[in-house]
Amino acid sequence: MNVGKSIRMKRIFDQRTKKTVMIPMDHGITLGPAKGLENVREVMRCAIEGGANALIMHKGIVKDCYVNCARASGLIIHLSASTSLSVDPDYKILLTTPDEALSLGADAISVHVNVGSEKEHQMLLDAGMVSRRCEYLGLPMLAMMYPRGKNIHNQYDPDLIAHVCRVGAEMGADVVKTNYTGDPDTFKRVVRGCPVPVLVAGGLRTSTDTELLENISGAMEAGAAGVAVGRNVFMHEAPALMVRRICAVVHDGLSPEEAMDIRV
């Protein structure tokens, strides 16, 4: 990894544990002002207060919200987008470039690739070109890799998850984010097959906080390098508390039950 990437990776990973807790808040393009994202500044404040290592957002939110934070977690600018109103919401296009992200103060960028979609080839091409430019700029690239498309019947299948993570690494990503397979044993296979750090996504809103923490604990046991949790934080009635509990599992090795005992 080049010097610039190494320096910036330290801004988005905890230097004590070498793990990370990222909070994506890039859902506004996909879903609009969804529950919890009506006031992005407040969610941002809560995530930072809770101890998030990095926030993921689109470029417009950087200019309107992130720049005014009193103190800040690491900044990851998401380059990819589609809306839920699209005829093909699985097709993610690039809204901006690594150069613009760097000019806005990004510590890293992220791209989204749905492997198995009808436009997989275009997303792979875009991600490959982004990777090349990031290498030149010394800007880490997070690849959000998911098995999605008309022939994908189970996007949590361990073999599919292992495949898409390897695709992300092969195309030049420095970190890969993907679905949790559901248990530590199968996720260990995913981690073993991917030569770059693997993060687990928080996914859809879970029925209980304990369920989310159990998934995170299982992923960490399997060797995950951290998590990227969006809906289960910004839709939570106490976002800062939820981030604090997630950090306790990821960075301090607390059990889900011990983390749930954290009240402030």
Active site residue ranges: 26, 146, 177
- Within 10 A of 165 (CB to CB), how many other CB atoms are there? 25
- Cα distances (angstroms) measured from residue 238 to each of 73, 106, 111, 249: 19, 27, 29, 17
Separation of alpha carbons 66 and 162, rounded Å: 34
Q: Phi and psi of 15, rounded to 5°?
A: -80, -15
Q: Where are the beta strands (DSSP E) in 141-254?
A: 141-147, 175-178, 198-201, 226-228
Q: Residues near 222 by Cβ (< 8 Å), separated by ≥ 6?
A: 184, 185, 187, 188, 190, 191
Tokens of 202: 């928080």
Q: Is there a contact between 52 and 33 (Cβ–Cβ < 8 Å)?
A: no
Tokens representing 109 are 């960028």
| Residue 133 near residue 97, CB atoms below 8 Å | yes
